[in-house]
Each structure stands twice: as C-alpha cells, then as structure tokens.
Structure 1
Amino acid sequence: MRKIISLLIITIFIIPIQTLYSQKINQEKKMISIIPQPEKAVLIEGEFVLNSSTRFYVPSGQDIFNKTIKYFNDKVSPATGFGLSTTGENNQENVIILIEDKNLHFESYSLEVFKDRILIQSSSAEGAFYAIQSLLQLMPPQIFSNSQQDLLWQIPCVQIEDAPRYKWRGMHLDVSRHFFPKEFIKNYIDYLAMYKLNRFHWHLVDDQGWRIEIKRYPKLTEVGAWRVDRENVTWRERERQKEGEEATYGGFYTQEDVKEIVEYADERHIQVLPEIEMPAHVLSALAAYPEVSCTGGPFTVPPGTYWPNVDIYCAGKEKTFEFLENILNEVIELFPFEYIHIGGDEADKTEWKKCNDCQRRIKEEGLKDEAELQSYFIKRIEKFLVSKNKRLIGWDEILEGGLAPEATVMSWRGMEGGIEAARQRHDVIMTPMSHCYFNFYQGKPEFEPEAFGGYLPLKTVYQFEPTPAELTEEESKFILGGQANLWAEFVPSNENAEYMIFPRIAALAEAVWTNKALRDWNNFENRINRQFVIYDYMKISCAKSIYTVYITPQPDEGTSTLYAALETESSLPEVYFSTDGSEPGTSSVKYLAPIKIENSTTIKASSFIDGMAVSKATVQKFIKHLALLKRPQLKYRNSNNYNGGGDYGLTNGIPGSENFGDGSWTGFHGDDLDAIIDFGEIKNINKISAGFFQKISSWIFLPSNVEYYVSTDGNNYELVSTISSDISDDGKDTIRKDFVSDFAPIKTRYVKVIAKSIGTCPIGHPGAGKKAWLFVDEIIIE
C-alpha cells in the first residue's frame, strides 16, 4: 500500500500535461519530434490532412503490409472515429501508399509526407510497421487517445530515411516477483512497439513464482505459482510462510494465454524470449517437485527475497535433467523465437558441495570444482536446445567455469562480461545495471514510489552505449544490441510498472536504434517533452523526475569557495529557491547562477512551468566546517562510479541521503577509507565525525571501526579516538550512521581518518568471500 500511495501522490501533484505544454507543442511544429531519432529527416513545407476519405494503396501482390494497415486502423480509429479502407486505384491523392522495395535493408524504411499523399517504402513488413510508428508520432498527440477527439488531423510534410543500428532492441519484464495479467502484458508489448523495440524478454520463472503452465508437471502452477500474501509489507522485510498459512497470492499464464500473447507480439514484429531459470532462482519449482533438489526439501514459495538462497536444482541427478528437458520441450512448442533464456545467474553452490550426487558427477565428468559443474549443467542444457534447433542465452555468470559452445551472453553486472564473451567470439546482448535496470530509482527517492535502490535517471539511460570502445571492429560485430530490465520486487501493480519504464523506455529506444553520431541529449530532451503529452492521452502513469531540482556543490578551487548549483534534467522549467525555510514559489528568488555558500544553510528549490509548480521542493543542507573544500589525500582510490561528486566528495559540505546512488557517497570496494586532510595551517579542533552507509542487499557494510588521528607535521600522528560499530551486519538492511568523536580542544594541522572495511562479505551473504563496499559521505571537522 505504501508504494501505491506514494505513486498516487506524485500523480495528483503534477498538473495536466496539456496545460503545461501548449506553448511548447506549438514550437515543436517547427521540428520533427520522433523518438527514436531517425537516421535522416527533413521538414518540408506544407501538411497532409488525414480524414475519413483517406485511403491506403498497395500495389497488387504486395500483401506483406496487410497487418500493418490493420494495426494503423486499430490505433487511429478510437481518436479519429474512422478507419481507412484500401483502394486498388493508384490515384496519388489523399492516399497512403505502401510499396515493397527490395533494395532497402531489412527493418529500414523511407517515409515521405506530401500535401496530397504519404509514401512508405520498405523491403519488409517490419520496416513498414516502423514507418507507421514514426507517422503516428508526427500526428497530433491526441491520436493516442482512446476516446474520439474533435480536431483536424494534420501531419507535417517530411522526408525520412531510417534504419536501426542494432538488431536486438529489447525490454524485459519480471512476472515472478509480481504477477501481471495477460491484458497488461499486451499493453507492455504495445509500449515496446511504439518505440520500435523488437524483443520482449519474459521472465517467467523465479523463486517467488512459476508463471507458465507445463502440462506434464501440473504442480508447477498448482503449487509453484502461489505464495503467502505479504503484499502489505515491504519486500525485504517479509516473513517466510508459516506452517498452516495458505498461499493465496500469485497467478500464471495458461498455454493458450502464452500462444495469444506470442501471436499479439508477432503482429507487432516483436519476438518473445522466454526465460526459464536454472540452476538457481527455482524455489517455486522445488516447492512443487522437491525431488530435483539436492536435499529433497520440503520447500515453500518465498514471499520475498532471502539470502543466502542455497536451494537450487541438483546437478548430480539424472532426474533433474529429465525434468528440465520435459519442461523445455513444452516451452519450445509455445515460443517460435530461436532463443531460450535459461538464467544461469546467482547460483549459490553450497548444497552442491555437500551433495553426494553432485560430487559424484564432478568426479565422473573430470571436473575441477562446482564452478565447472555449473558449466557442465549449462553446456548440457545447451546441447539439448541445439538438438531442438534453439539457441541458449544466459546471464553473464554462464562465463564461469567455461562458456557453452554456442551460448549468447546477456551482460548485466557491467560491460565486462559482454566484452569477455565478444572476445571469445560469442554473441552478446548488453544490459548493464548502470544504464539498463529500470527497477532503480529515476529521481529523488523521497519523491518516488519505493524502488529496489540505485539511481538511474533518464539522462544516464540515454547515455547507454551498447558497443564498448575496448572492442575491435571485428569483436564489435558480436554485440547484437541491448535491452532494459524491469525486475518487479518493488513493482506491485500495472501502474507502478508503467511509472518505472516511462519515459526511460524512450531513452533506451534511441540508444539501441539511432546511430551514435546522431544522438544528442539536448535535442532528445526537447523531443521527450512532447512524449509526456502522448503519455497523458494514453492515460499512462509516467515519471516526471526530469523536472526534479538537483542541488549540487560546485567548489571554486582558486578561492576555496563553495557554490550550489540548482539544475533539472529538462531545460523546460524555471527554478525558484529559498534559504529561509519557506516553501519556494514564483515570488521567491529565481535561480540564475550558482549560489555562494557562506554559512551552514539549507536550500529549498522547486521547478515551475508557466508559473505552476511541476516538482516538489528539493531540500539540501550545506554544512560549513573546517575541512570544507580541503582535498583529502587518499591512500586507497575510491570507485569511479561512486566518487561523492569528485575530488572534494568527502569535504563538500553535503551529507548523503539513504540512497547510495544519490551522488553524495564515496565508495571503496574492498578497501579501507584512509584519508588525510591538511588545513594548511594550525587549527583548534574539538570534534570529528564521518557518515557511513549500510545496505546489506547491495553488499555495502558499515566499517568495523573508525579511527581519528591528528598531527602537526604530517609525519607523526596521535590517535584521538577509536569508534567501533555497534550494529551487526545481519540486522536492518539499510542504515545511515555518523561516527562522532567529541574531545577537548587540540591544535593540529593534519587530521587522518581511517575507517576499517569488513573486507569481504560475511558467511551467509550471497556475496560471501567477495569484496564488500564501504560508503562514506562527509568528513566534518569542527
């Protein structure tokens, strides 16, 4: 309920989009506002008017466009009140002409709009379909309404030539953590289609629910599709199912549902990629058939995520492979796409190490260890899929222990897995968390529905570059494209799902369709404003986080002066601010240039369009202290991804929030914080503090202790205090804690701060034995 309420608050707060953008839309009539940006587009004089007398013309025998014509009529008839018939007469007037041109590349198209006709040419039904998507975006945004609109349907005259950069342009949806009904899946597919995406990755299986009917194993949906209802409790705090509790939350898709959805997607030229997880993330299957586990159970379907998750398929039992092959046989019959995704990620091998069957398999197959046993597992499944004329895709963990011969790697933990696979001459789909995880926050968490964590604003998605610069031209050919993923732990409803993907799906689409040289953020942000009008007519719940004001420090090294910059992702709003605690309005100070910070202060700022607030007030505290803008000398280098805002991240006067991706936290991966601050002269001090962050699920832990030292010469340091952490690493997931030391005044020039990292994730954590993160925000000295 907490998530839904926060979403409603956002929806109510933002005023009607049509009101805000009337002036902007008039300006955009002078530009071609299509997403993704076409390869070539020229605006010419005049307009075509679509009316009830307009007809389609297709030369005889070119019936590849029939479905495209039906799609167009289905899209425009609710708003216009009419559909277009097809004529056999090529009268070249008030007509939309579709011509098959074999000289054009697959999926490419040309679209020419003249005053008296529209000409679409392509070599494929796909190309014509994408031309229609561009045509729809050229029309007034009311065309996307489901109710009839009374206006003149004018289309600007243009000449467009267009083709995609990548052949894999995808979106993923997790239906296990939360179940989404069949009709919403169709809506989701339509969202992909409007942005020329052509792959729907359907995550059908995970610990928290089995969502596809398998006739040979009915208990997969009778048992595995249902869990105890904990929807009133946030995901990470849910109790496991208790004895006697009934499992009532869930659902699944019948095989007829699947066929209907696959056909629906095919009509929109979208291939559906099913994901059937293995060998891990399968408690929903083990709850139904515990005999294919190492221990034999019993198991229940978990209502949340619990670590460690050691219960996975047994790789030593033949019955496991028989079970999976029987499942895959039915899946293969339902999905015509050449690929099957088998997961392969986050397989905790604890039980394999103890399992006699697994250890026997390792010995019989001459394997080195459990990592090679996983490789054996994946290779065996791949061999089966190849025998059925299918190809295997797996998350980048399938690289561990040796990659299956023909496997395609989906690189999610970063670009590195994809780079490694491409260098091994394997196909790659890039989907790094840094740019493609739409379950992350896209704005300030205090203004957003509860999310998984992280921070992924629209501009970062737009900067996604699927082909790494490290690859040679030959290696780059193995990059098929990219996709974004929506994991649903914190996405309990259709409205939440829409909110998390819009407008980021538009940025993704341009990243995977448009030539890199043509992509330009400033141009894109002008075009995205029109998309908000479209979303409003579609009655889509979308995030308008690009209007949120971000208050960031701007140090002036020359004068050691701190300034505050107030910025929004979008250039459309004006920003007003206050420093007296009052709510900002248009009578407050208008932001024109960075604000000088002379004392500890709190800035409140909001954005406005046409005098109306379009964001809540952002509040940022600045702390004036002795170490402000004194650049720390670090013994161990911090992460480039978590640098606290730059060289002054630890002394810029800004404390971090409870979102470690907010830009204010400095992260150390496996290393201690060891920092020296030089005042440049002797100072009297009596207090030192440093703020730290813990988020166990993201491998971030508080330091075991923090030590504060002082020195007058920079060589000989005296320990002032040691503060030990009094919070266990198995307690609350998210904690922010200041380690504060008060003492009698001391004269010093140098202050050293050492925060001891726990080094590696503890036993029982999913990352046990791997490097832990240490996050610090501000070192404050008074």
Structure 2
Amino acid sequence: MKLKPILISAVLVVLLIAVSGSLNGQNSEPAVIPVPIEMKVKQGKFVLNENTRIVFPDNEDGCRVAEYFANWIEKPTGIHLKEGNKNNNSNAIVFHIVQDDRLGEEGYLLDVQPEKVLVSANGPAGLFYGVQTIFQLLPPQIYSPEKIEGVSWNMPAVSIYDKPRFAWRGMHLDVSRHFFPKEFIKTYIDLIAMYKMNVFHWHLTDDNGWRIEIKKYPKLTSVSAWRVDREDQTWREVTPPKPGEKATYGGFYTQEDIREIVKYASERQVMILPEIEMPGHTSEVFAAYPSLSCSGKKMYVRPGSYWPNEDIFCAGNDSVFVFLEDVLDEVMELFPGPYIHIGGDEADKTNWKKCPKCRQRMKDEHLNNEDELQSWFIKRMENYLVAHGKKLIGWDEILEGGLAPEATVMSWRGIAGGVASARQGHDAVMSPGTHCYFDHYQADPEFEPEAIGGFTTLKKVYSYEPVPEELTPDEARHILGAQGNVWTEFIPAPEHAEYMAVPRMTALAEVVWSPDSKRNWEDFRERLDTQFERFDYMGINYSRGSWKVNILPEVSEDGKQYTIVFQTEQPGYPVYYTLDGSDPDTTSLLYIEPIVIDTSVIIKTGIFDHGELKEKYAEKSIIFHKALGKKAKLEVQPVKKYSGKGAQTLVDGMTGSARYNDGYWLGFDGTDLDFTVDMEEEVPVQQVTVNFYQRQSFWIFMPVEVIIQVLDESGKIAASQTALPKTDPKSEETVIEAFKVKFDHVKGQYVRVVGKNCGNCPAWHKGAGDTCWIFSDEVIVK
C-alpha cells in the first residue's frame, strides 16, 4: 500500500503505534488465520490447567482427533489431558459429533466459555479444524515442541461458526529437483494442516530424480534417484557428468516411508496427491530403462536445468504402457486418495514427430497430429486409473488435442486452462504462476536468495480470486479451489523451502477458506504478526521479505514534477531514509509524503520497529536527466513477463540490477527495441546512454548494434549515431554494457533508440536456432 503522509514527529509515530497495538489487543477479535465466517467475542476466558478434562465421541474418528489434540497440548504445556465424564463438562474440552446442514463435511462450531470449550462438527474434519482454531486462540507458545514454563494457558471466550469456501485447498512440493527428508515432509504437512488446507501435492518424479520406490523396477531408485553432485554450480549452468563420475546426490522414499507419511497426513485431514510425470519430464527414467524412450539411448539423470527437454515416453511402444501401469499399480496401493496426478506438462513432441513407432501409432489410431497423440496417451492412462477407482488430474496441457472424459485440470499457465476446463464441464484446480508459484521472488530480488524468477508478494497472493470472472455460476462450480506450488530448482534445503512457502501459504489459505466478503488485507496483515510468533516457537524459517520497502517513481500529470513514493506491505511502521546512500537509522529522514527529486540521488530506506531495522535496506540510484518522466512509446512491445511499466520503464530514473527479471529491464524475444521519448520541446542533446544486458546461458545477448537518433519537432532526423557492442557473445558472465554516444551542437525534441536483436542463437550455442532475447533499461539523455 502507499504510505500516506503523517505530519507528526518520529517519536509520536512510534508512541501511536505502541498505543494502537495495545488497544487492538484489548478490543479486537483474536488473530485467527484463516478468518472465520462468524466470530463473536464474549466476556471471560477459559483457562487450561492440570484439572482440565477432554470429552470425545465413542467413534474411532472422533477419538483420533481428540488424541491428536491431547498429544499436541502436552508438549508445550506439560498438561496431560485425561478423559472426562460425558455427564460433567465442567473445566472440559468437549468434542461433539452433530448433524448440522450448515457445516458440511469440514465446517465446525466452536463455543469457548469460561467453564468449558465445545467443538461441534458433522465429522472428524470439522473437529480437526476446530482444534486448529483452538490452537490459534491459545498463546503462541502452544506451537513449541518443548515445554514452556510461566505461560498462562488461556483462551478468550468466543463463539465461532466456520466452514471452507473451497473443497480443494492445496500446497505442492517438488522433491525431484532436490530431495527433502521424511521429517521435513511431516513438518510441511503440519503447516498445511495448521491453516486448514487439505491437499499435499507431492511432485515425486521429474528429470532430476525419481523419488518413490517401485519394487517391480528397482533401477528407478538405484539409478534414477541419483545424479552427479553439482550443488556448487548455478542450476541453469551446471556441467554434465564426467566419464566415470559417480552419481551421489539424491535420494528416495521407501514404500514404508510413504505409508508412514500417508498415515501422518490422514491424521491431519490432508490428502496426498502423488504426481508421476508423463509423457514428458521423464529423462531420469531413461537413465535406468532407455528402451522406453523414442531414441532408446541411455541417458543420465540431469544435475540441473534441462531445456529444451525433448526426451519423452515413446507413445508407439506398448512396453511403455506396461511399465506405467505397473508403476501406477504400486502408486495406487500406497496412496488411498481419489486422485493420481500424471503431470502432462511441457511435453516436447519433437521426437514423436521423428519416431517411426509413434508415427505408426498415429496412423493406427487415426490421429491427425502430435497433440492428438498426447491426448490419446492421457486418455489411455485415464482409462486405466478409472478402472481402478481413481481419478486423473494433470497440468493444463492435457487440454491439448482433447481432454480425457473424466479428467481434472490443474491450471498453471494463467487461468485459461481452468476456464476451458470448466466450460467443458470438467473440474479444475487453479494454480496460476502469477499468484500461486511460491518459488518466485517475494521481495526485492537484489536482497533475496536467487529464485527462478517472477515476483509474487504476500499481498499479491492475498489478492487472488480463484473463480475467473468470465465463468457463469454453473461453470464456476467446477472450480474446486486453488493450490500454491513450490518448485525447487533454486530451493535445495528444507529451511529454504520454508522461507519460500511461509507466510505466503497463510495468505492463500485464507483465500481458499474464508468468504471473499471477509477478506481484508490490512486486517490480515495485523493478524499475521501473531503468526510470526507462532512460527518462531515452531522453529520455522519464515520470510520477512514483506518488510521490504519498494521505491517507486511517480511523475505529476503535467510532467513537471518527479517524485519517489515508498510502498510496503507493512502498515503502521515508520520508514526512515537517506538520499546519499548511507545506512538510515531512526535519526534519519522520516518518510511522511512523496519525495520530490530534482537531482541524482542514492535512496536507501528501511522499516523500523522500536528502533530495530526489520529487514534489509532497500536501495536505488535515481539518475536525474532530461528525459526523466517524459512521455515515451515503444514500436514493439516487450514480452509481458518482462514488460515493467511499459515504455515509461526506460525513463523512470532507475537502472536495472544484475537480475534481468527485477522489473526494471524490458525483455524482447526475437524482436528489436524501438523506443522514442518526447522531450516536449527542442532541447540540446549532448549525450545518450542506454544499458543492455547479456547472460547468454539464458539466451540473452547484446544487440548487434544500437542506433541512437535525435529528431526535431517534425520528426526529421537531426543526428544519428551507431554504437556497437564490446561484450564477447560467448562470455559466460552476466554483463551489463552501457552503449553511449555523444553529439555536438545538436538540438531535438525526440530521442529514438533502436537496439537490433541478433535474431537467433548462433550455431555454437546450446540453443542454436532459437530466438535471442535482448534486455534494456534506462535511456539517459543529457
């Protein structure tokens, strides 16, 4: 949000924040996430003590929830809850099975009174979610795995009615790119359950490692689960195995491990969705069983990025389907949930076009193209799953060539897949990269661990609406819910996975559980502070990236005034800054209104709480020049993902960082940069500088030439110069090169910059023939 001007002293700001926090603590509702449908705060509190008893139903499911609750309570409190008398509920926590149509399968009623706590639900799921709310009503220390002394274990008297908005409330974890130990998987499931989410999507297989024991095919774990260790190299730039080098990096889950984890999840009302990739993302299989590919060549398990990924199961080879059905037999036996995820994404069909067996299959099955061959492949696998009582779900590419009759679509490439699926009468789970990919950056990339790209802040996740507005009410009922995805190319360790998922998963949890009418960003953000305390006691390495201050330029409507605005996801905290690049503290300038800039400066800023810096400083150099904030245009638009603020990005006073995806670089795929800025009147132009970016391992090259022109008020060229790159295109470094030209005695109203794209990657490049990218930032006119 924009920090609004507050014309008061820094000391008064801090005092007001402290007083406000104290008052909120007395009068506001308890900080529960997801926010319940109805919560009424009453007088008094319930005190949990050594004499408290637990009363639960006679059925097995009710007993299991009560046992889970009692075991959790005992660790931090030291209180061993004993079974109470059903006829005497005084100082008792009572679990009660009811028949209430309002609640559905997962809703609950919670009534906390000074003398007792009553949790009512139609079944175990509702009771379990009532328990999660009880935990959030208790002090944050309730999440400690060890006993904490000196805590008053009480909860406010409240009355709550609650149930979920969506049936599918999921979190995903990729364990192929990096293997995560069994105990962390349990921790991840605990986090899912803590926020009333109910699906754990376990991405078990991919090019970088097979992670599930299949007894009929032992090489999947002896060979396909292991790769050479390249953890000292950047994911996208790893070197292949050396001759004779042993594969030592990886791991897998035994079937006994999986049964243990499935049971653990079931006790927490979490369904595990296993994903077995097909027909693409399968090269690790061919390291063990090469005959299943189109080429039949033995491969190695990829130690890093693998693109373009042309290796794929041979759709014309009947042995492939024997293999897959055997694998699925064991998978279905291990995972009792109704769904099996078969991937289906990014299946490069190049080899299918060349493969005689695949061509014959297309002829035999009367298929017109490779998309229809993929559809045939998926439908065949769906038939097998349905015959065994399972449902198929896959990424939205399974729509290509025709959707399998009973398939569910997981929409990741935006919302289009979900819309198409719902309009065809199929269920869909929404997981668009724009809002639900938690491997994306969540704060300023300059100060965050390297990520795959993107920019998905906590606030952006919270703003997500899973039901596309273009759907009719009848179509919208096919939207089962949404899911957050954690792909792990750049996430090698459990603590890093926690950092990327938490607290963004809490924001998504509220999106998929709470009514849209109850969601409020400012309220959610205040409630999140209490969650941070809970994470501390749990030992979770959560992100504080959302404390970052975003430094944003603004230009007045008349173009005469250039200002800098600070935005943050943290309301109510003082922000201090300097203009000379020095580290600010609480004696520095306090931000109270947009900052007018009339010279080049280095802004450095941070949020402080009671004198403590809450996160790393944000820093940006502002280059004051003649074209700053002037109206600009592009003849060819950049790729949307790298479009910043459009043409104005190149005259906003801010240069890009060493990360091409930081929002300050404009990216063009196979096209030129053709940019013009209007100076509004003829002015002397002595020098024009523009930066370009090269990272050839990402297909990003310098332009072959940069043409810089000064035009008069009629658009006639007054002067033109060409600058050539100095950077070696084969350089393996990330390079930012300034293309600078000077003019003598030239006046003009317009400045035009044309950066010529090299077209296609050269023959020596691993992407030979693919289109090249060029990236450009600020056009500086002096």
- Could you say which TM-score interval applies, normalised by the shorter chain? over 0.9
Q: 1:778: which partner in 2?
A: 778
- Tell me how far apart the structure 1 counterparts of residues 114 and 769 of structure 2 sit (CA, whole Å): 68
- State how 1:584-603 maps to structure 2 within 5 Å: 584-603=584-603
Distance verdict in 2 for CA 1:743–1:770, change over 3 Å: same
- The answer as to whether partners of 2:697 and 2:732 remain within 8 angstroms in 1 is no
Q: Distance in 1 between matches of 2:761 and 2:382?
A: 32
Contact map agreement 2:276 2:342 (CA 8 A) in 1: yes
User: Shift of the alpha carbon at 1:48?
Assistant: 0.9
The 2-side partners of 1:543 and 1:135 are apart by 25
Q: What is aligned with 2:39?
A: 41
Q: Is the 8 A contact 1:316 1:361 kept in 2?
A: yes
Distance 1:333 1:761, change over 3 A: farther
Q: In the alignment, what sits opposite 1:241?
A: 241
> What letter corresponds to residue 44 of structure 2 in structure 1?
G
Cα distance, 1:559–1:748 mapped onto 2, change above 3 Å = closer
Q: Secondary structure at the match of 1:434?
A: helix
Give the residue type in structure 1 aligned to 2:426: H
Give the fraction of aligned pairs with identical amino acids, expressed as a percent: 48
Q: Does 1:172 align with 2:172?
A: yes
Q: How far apart in 2 are the matches of 1:517 and 1:290?
A: 54
Mapping of residues 280-295 of structure 1, within 5 Å:
280-295=280-295
Pairwise CA distance, 1:472: 1.3
Specify the alignment match of 1:4 in structure 2: none
- SS in structure 2 of the partner of residue 319 of structure 1: helix
Q: How much has 1:658 moved relative to structure 2? A: 3.1
Alignment of 1:241-260 (within 5 A): 241-260=241-260
Separation (CA, whole Å) in 2 of partners of 1:277 and 1:672: 37
Q: Is the 8 A contact 2:237 2:697 kept in 1?
A: no
Matched, 1:93 2:90: yes
Aligned-partner Cα distance in 1 for 2:480–2:760: 35
Letter in 1 for 2:42: I
In 1, distance between residues paired with 2:340 and 2:763? 34
Q: Distance in 2 between matches of 1:617 and 1:317?
A: 57
Q: Which residue of 2 aligns with 1:355?
A: 355
Which residue matches 1:109?
108
Give the distance between the partners of 1:761 and 1:192, measured in 2 at CA: 44
Cα distance in 2, alignment partners of residues 110 and 769 from structure 1:
62
Which residue type is aligned with residue 199 of structure 2?
Answer: R
Q: What does residue 366 of structure 2 align with?
A: 366
8 Å CA contact retained: 1:205, 1:276: yes
| 1:125 has 2:124 as partner | yes
Deviation at 1:558, TM superposition (A): 2.7
Q: Which of the numbers 28, 53, 56 marks the counterpart of 1:55?
A: 53
2:479 is aligned with 1:482: no
* Partner amino acid, structure 2, of 1:323: F
Superposition deviation, residue 386 in structure 1: 1.2
User: Unmatched 5+ residue regions in structure 1?
Assistant: 1-19
- Three-state SS of the structure 2 residue aligned to 1:512 is helix
SS in 2 for 1:441: coil
Structure 2 residue aligned with 1:83: 80
Give the number of equivalent residue pairs.
762
Deviations along 1:325-370, one digit per CA (max 9) or x if unpaired, are 1111111111111111111111122222221111111222221222
- The answer to whether the 8 A contact 1:572-1:609 is kept is no
Q: Is the 8 A contact 2:108 2:122 kept in 1?
A: yes
TM-score by length of 2: 0.92
Greater displacement, 198-207 / 62-71: 62-71
CA deviation map 1:98-126 (0-9, x unaligned): 22121231101111111111111111110
Q: Aligned ranges for residues 569-648 of structure 1 at < 5 Å?
A: 569-637=569-637, 642-645=642-645, 648=648
Distance 1:429 1:590, change over 3 A: same
Instruction: Name 1:740's counterpart in structure 2.
Output: 740
Task: State the secondary structure of the residue aligned to 1:482.
Answer: strand
Structure-1-length-normalised TM-score: 0.92
Q: Contact 2:446–2:659 (CA<8 Å) still a contact in 1?
A: no
Letter in 1 for 2:83: T
Q: CA offsets, 1:688-725, max 9 Å, x none?
A: 23334456787766555433222213333366133455
Contact persistence 1:308–1:765 (CA under 8 A): no
Q: Secondary structure at the match of 2:480?
A: strand
Map of 2:136 onto structure 1: 137
**What letter corresponds to residue 316 of structure 2 in structure 1?**
G
1:74 and 2:74 aligned:
no
1:376 counterpart = 2:376:
yes
Spell out, residue by residue over 1:179-205, the C-alpha distance to the aligned partner (whole angstroms, 9 max, x if none): 111111111111100000100000000
1:426 and 2:423 matched: no
Change over 3 Å in CA distance of 1:443–1:52 after alignment to 2: same
- Alpha-carbon distance, 1:258 to partner: 0.8
**1:204 lines up with 2:201 in the alignment:** no
Amino acid at match of 1:536: D
| Mean CA deviation greater in 306-315 or 480-489 | 306-315
Contact 1:703 1:758 in 2 (8 A): yes
2:536 partner amino acid? D
Shift of residue 738, structure 1, vs aligned partner: 3.5
Provide the rounded CA distance (Å) in 1 between the counterparts of 2:24 and 2:37: 22
Match for 1:85: what amino acid? K
1:321-720 mapped onto 2 (5 Å cutoff): 321-558=321-558, 560-637=560-637, 642-645=642-645, 648-667=648-667, 672-693=672-693, 703-717=703-717, 720=720
CA distance in 2, matches of 1:578, 1:227: 49
CA deviation vs aligned residue, 1:12-39 (integer Å, no higher than 9, x gap)? xxxxxxxx99995884353220111111
**Counterpart in 1 of 2:25?**
28
Q: What is the CA distance between 1:371 and its match in structure 2? A: 2.0
Runs of at least 5 residues in structure 2 that lack an aligned partner in the other structure = 1-16
User: Residue 9 of structure 2 aligns with which residue?
Assistant: none
Structure 1 residues 50 and 714 mapped into 2: Cα distance closer, same or farther (>3 Å)? Answer: farther
| Amino acid in structure 1 at the alignment position of 2:706 | V
Does the 8 Å CA contact 1:92/1:117 hold for their aligned counterparts? yes
Q: Which amino acid aligns with 1:45?
A: Q
In 2, Cα distance between the equivalents of 1:512 and 1:270?
15
1:265-319 deviation line (CA, Å, top 9, x unaligned): 0111111000000111112111000010111112111111122222221111111
Tell whether the 8 Å contact from 1:62 to 1:100 is kept in structure 2 after alignment.
no
Deviation at 1:398, TM superposition (A): 1.2
Q: Which range is displaced more, 63-72 or 623-632?
A: 63-72
Deviation of 1:673 (Å):
3.5
Alignment-mate amino acid for residue 535 of structure 2: Y
When structure 1 is superposed on structure 2, of 334-343 and 728-737 the one drifting more is 728-737
1:176–1:381 Cα change, 3 Å: same
User: What is the CA–CA distance in structure 1 between the aligned matches of 2:380 and 2:735, rounded to whole Å?
Assistant: 43
CA contact (8 A) 1:204 1:275 kept: yes
CA distance in 2, matches of 1:535, 1:449: 20
Q: Which letter does structure 1 place at the counterpart of 2:123? A: S
Tell me, in whole angstroms, the C-alpha distance in 1 between the residues paired with 2:184 and 2:427.
Answer: 31
Amino acid across the alignment from 1:56: I
Q: Deviations over 1:722-766 (max 9, x none)?
A: 345566888648554443333434211111223345678899999
**Does the Cα contact within 8 Å between 1:25 and 1:530 map onto a contact in 2?**
no
Give the secondary-structure state (helix, strand or coil) at the position aligned to 2:686: strand
- Provide the rounded CA distance (Å) in 2 between the counterparts of 1:710 and 1:117: 80
Distance 1:234 1:203 in 2: 22
CA gap 1:437/1:688 in 2 versus in 1, 3 angstroms: same
**1:319 partner letter:** S
Q: Secondary structure at the match of 2:649?
A: coil
Question: Shift of the alpha carbon at 1:634?
Answer: 3.2
Contact 2:396 2:418 in 1 (8 A): yes
Q: Which residue of 1 aligns with 2:7?
A: none
- Measured after TM superposition, the shift of residue 557 of structure 1 is 2.1
Quickly say closer, same or farther: Cα 1:192–1:247, change in 2 above 3 A. same
What's the counterpart of residue 9 of structure 1? none
Q: Separation in 2 of the partners of 1:711 and 1:333?
A: 72
Q: Quote how far apart the aligned CAs of 1:660 are.
A: 4.2
CA distance in 1, matches of 2:214, 2:578: 61
How far does residue 548 in structure 1 lie from its aligned partner after superposition?
1.6
Are residues 420 and 116 of structure 1, via their aligned partners in 2, closer, same or farther at CA, if it must alter by over 3 Å?
same
- Report the Cα distance in structure 1 between the residues aligned to 2:231 and 2:595, rounded to whole angstroms: 44
Letter paired with 1:447? F
